[in-house]
């Protein structure tokens, strides 16, 4: 992950991962591959996991980049994973979301810097 701002050092940035229930309905949104039987099977599996209280079955994920009291975030909805480790697996969305959260963090720092210089 590269940060373009000189003030923020990448090794000083920490990340948190938050998961919350997804508002978007499961039916019609889990697989949607065009095979009605496969779609229904995937939806039924997600709904069964939700009935068991598994929040990762159908959720919205938020990654937050933290640095010296500043924060930037990135969101991804309509997610279905086994757990946080499954979400963070190599080649998944975790790294992309960390990068996006860093860009958002950088924008927050730059915005404050611009307001200070404008004063």
Residues 22-39 have pLDDT tens digits of 999 999 999 988 899 999
Report DSSP state, residue 92: S
CA proximity to 71, closest of 41, 32, 112, 37 = 112
Cα–Cα distance for residue pair 90/82, rounded to 1 Å: 15
Q: Is residue 112 part of a domain?
A: yes
Confidence grade of residue 8 (pLDDT, cut at 50, 70, 90):
confident
Q: Does 34 reside within a domain?
A: yes
- Residue pair 21/47 in contact by the 8 Å Cβ criterion: no
Reported pTM: 0.85
**Residue 4 domain-assigned?**
no
Task: Give pLDDT tens digits for 54-78.
Answer: 999 999 999 999 999 999 999 999 9
Task: Reduce the DSSP state of residue 29 to 3 states and report it.
Answer: coil
Is residue 109 included in any domain, yes or no? yes
Non-local (6+) Cβ contacts of 92 within 8 A are none
User: Does residue 48 belong to any structural domain of this protein?
Assistant: yes
Per-residue pLDDT reduced to its tens digit, 38-57 = 999 999 999 999 999 999 99
Domain count, the chain: 1
């Amino acid at each position: 992950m590269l940060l373009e701002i000189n003030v923020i050092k990448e090794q000083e940035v920490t990340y948190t991962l938050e998961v919350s229930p997804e508002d978007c309905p499961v039916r019609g949104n889990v697989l949607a591959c065009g095979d009605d039987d496969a779609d229904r099977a995937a939806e039924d599996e997600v709904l069964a996991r939700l009935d068991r209280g598994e929040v990762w079955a159908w959720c919205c994920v938020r990654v937050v980049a933290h640095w010296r009291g500043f924060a930037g975030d990135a969101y991804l909805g309509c997610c279905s994973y086994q757990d946080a480790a499954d979400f963070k697996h190599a080649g998944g969305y975790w790294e992309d979301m960390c990068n996006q959260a860093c860009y958002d963090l950088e924008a927050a720092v730059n915005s404050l810097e611009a307001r200070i210089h404008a004063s």
